[in-house]
Structure 1
Amino acid sequence: MKTRLSACALALPLVLTTITGCGMTEKDSDTTPSAGTSTTRDASDAMERLSSGIYDLIGVRGKTSDSRPFVAECTGKDTKTHFRIFHWWSFYPASAKDLDVAMERLKTELPKHGWKIVTYGPDTSKNRNINLTADNDQHKAGVNIVQRAKNDPPKLSLHVVSGCYKVPDGQEVERF
């Protein structure tokens, strides 16, 4: 368990850097793009709808983990007025052979729905997990999908992240 947790902790900065890179960053800047003004609840609901849209593109039977979006800080921004939404979840296909089908469908279908594939291919881990990272400029969001074929059970790990939101004037970020 410690090894898995440590690997996740080490991989997190890479995933976040990758997701917030390329098309999701504002031109000539290393900062996270603005996603506009919203309450944390409304932004969380929007992130769930975005994740649900990705789920619909998977196109194979299976189940998902029971997870909810959470609020995080925007680097370099006032933590009382700015926030990001993260939604981390997993998809477990009904059949292990459907894992490849699901990943291929996502690679094909995401661009048809406003996502730009930024990276696709095996990572450098011992398992050579297939990674897909995509940005959606319209929604100011990014997703990193990792095909974990050698897990028991096999799964897709999905990390969906928003740009930086600002709460409406007079409100503060609600943490959950």
Structure 2
Amino acid sequence: MKTRLSACALALPLALTTLTGCGMTEKDSGTTPFAGTSTTRDASDAMEKVSSGVYDLIGVKGRTSDSRPFVAECTGKDPKTYFRIFHWWSFYPASAKDLDVAMERLKTELPKHGWKIVTYGPDTSKNRNINLTADNDQRKAGVNIVQRAKNDPPKLSLHVVSGCYKVPDGQEVERF
């Protein structure tokens, strides 16, 4: 359990650093792109649609966890007017053998739908989980997908994240 938590503790910051600064940038690397002006509810709905689009590309039968997007701060920006949306969820294939099929389909299909694969390969954990990170500059979104074949049950862990939004003038960020 301790090793598992340590690997997760190392993998999550790496995934978030990649999602917040790699290909999903406007001009200089390391900055989060501006995603536009939106209410938190509308931006949350948009991120659910992005997640749904990724789900559609998995192409194998299975079930998903029941999770909702949440609001987070944009580093270095006024937290009353700027925000990001994160949507973390899991996919459990109907058959463990379909986990590899799902990951390969995502690797193949994401680029056909506007995603640029930034990283792909095993992580440094004991389980050598396969990680795929991709950015969609048009949607100002990133996704990190981890194939957890040795989990019981096996699953894909998906982290979808938006660029920085600004709330409309006169409004404040709603936290949920």
> Structure 1 residue 6: deviation in Å?
4.8
- Mean CA deviation greater in 28-37 or 96-105: 28-37
Deviations 1:87-128 (A, max 9, x none): 000000000000000000000000010000001111111111
Structure 1: distance between partners of 2:73 and 2:60: 34
> Structure 1 residue 29: deviation in Å?
4.0
Gaps of 5+ in 2: none
Cα-Cα RMSD:
1.2
> Structure 1 residue 23: deviation in Å?
1.6
Structure 2: distance between partners of 1:98 and 1:163: 31
Q: What is residue 155 of structure 2 aligned with on the other side?
A: 155
Asked if 1 retains the 8 angstrom alpha-carbon contact of 2:37 and 2:166, the reply is yes
- Mean CA deviation greater in 7-16 or 109-118: 7-16
> Structure 1 residue 4: deviation in Å?
4.2
Structure 1: distance between partners of 2:70 and 2:5: 19
- Counterpart check, 1:128 vs 2:128: yes
Structure 2: distance between partners of 1:60 and 1:87: 21
Structure 1: distance between partners of 2:154 and 2:116: 26
> Structure 1 residue 10: deviation in Å?
3.5
Asked if 1 retains the 8 angstrom alpha-carbon contact of 2:65 and 2:89, the reply is yes
Q: Secondary structure at the match of 2:145?
A: strand
- Mean CA deviation greater in 2-11 or 82-91: 2-11
Q: Secondary structure at the match of 2:68?
A: coil
> Structure 1 residue 45: deviation in Å?
0.2
Cα distance change, pair 103–29 in 1 and its aligned pair in 2 (3 A):
closer
How many pairs are equivalent?
Answer: 176
Identity rate, percent: 93
Q: Stretches of 4+ moved more than 6 A in 1? A: none
Q: Secondary structure at the match of 1:133?
A: strand
Q: What is residue 37 of structure 2 aligned with on the other side?
A: 37
Deviations 1:135-173 (A, max 9, x none): 000000000000000000000000000000000000000
Q: What is residue 55 of structure 2 aligned with on the other side?
A: 55
Cα distance change, pair 165–104 in 1 and its aligned pair in 2 (3 A):
same
Q: What is residue 85 of structure 1 aligned with on the other side?
A: 85
